[in-house]
Amino acid sequence: MRSIKPSGRVAGTALVLLGFVATLVSLLVPVYFFDGNRTIALSRAGWQDDGKGTWKTKYGPLTALDRDFLRSVRSAGLWKVPAGRAARERGTQKTVRAVGDRVVEACSDLDKRAIEAGRTLKVTLPNQPTDAQRQYMSEIEKAKGKKFDEVFVNRVRKHDGQMFGLVGLVRDQTRNSMVRSLATKANSVVLDHIAVLEGTGLVDSDAISQGE
């Protein structure tokens, strides 16, 4: 019996539907249900305390966690946008190229929002990716052919899994309205990206869970 392979159009449509469902879920389900234990959530998010305490702003208190979140969103854009462009141009699978488009568009928008929030709240933001993110970029740049698809998908998926923990924690705990707005948007974007990355069929969940 002859097997029927899905066309590129069908694959692209499936990614769009996955993204829509992920976005809808992120809006309807409060992110604080991500982890009911705040102690565990704190350890998983891996945020860094800058030691500058809580600042008073007209948008509400701005904590060290809030500031670290702003810096994390900014640094994410610094590596995910170039990675998305590379996927858009070099991906061998149509689904990977579609994910690249999605990453570039959404992360460019988040980056602008983070820069504006940082400027308004007087938080100094990074202008370079972290060491780990630069390593991801190097691995993606060196990979070729189908290996490129796998490396891109798994590096971005690993990053977004970590980012999701931080976003959920901030959305739950922040009392700053500007940070809350950014966290709500970031939650939608990260969950959407996780869904479409997994929709490529290239995510190695075992390797990611083992820190590879």
∠ Cα 57 58 59 (to 5°): 85
124 lies in some domain: yes
Read off the tokens for 168. Answer: 């959920």
3 lies in some domain: no
Whether residue 207 has pLDDT greater than 90: no
Would the pTM count as exceeding 0.85?
A: no
Question: 170-179 pLDDT, tens per residue?
Answer: 999 999 999 9
Q: Give a yes or no: residue 2 inside a domain.
A: no
In angstroms, the CA 34 to CA 122 distance is: 30
Residue 27 falls inside a structural domain: yes
Closest by CA to 180, choosing from 49, 61, 47, is 61
Shortest CA distance to 11 belongs to which of 93, 121, 114? 93
Residues 23-40: tens digit of each pLDDT: 444 444 444 444 444 444
Q: Could you give the CA distance from residue 113 to residue 181 in angstroms, rounded to a whole number?
A: 10
Domain limits at 105?
Answer: 8-209
Which tens digits make up the pLDDT trace of 77-94? Answer: 999 999 999 999 999 999
Identify the sign of the CA torsion 162, 168, 174, 176. Answer: positive
Higher pLDDT pick, 69 / 34:
69
Paired tokens of 65: 């966690």
> What is the tally of structural domains in the chain?
1
Split at pLDDT 50, 70, 90, the class of 186 is: very high
Q: What CATH code is carried by the domain that includes residue 141?
A: 1.20.1260.10
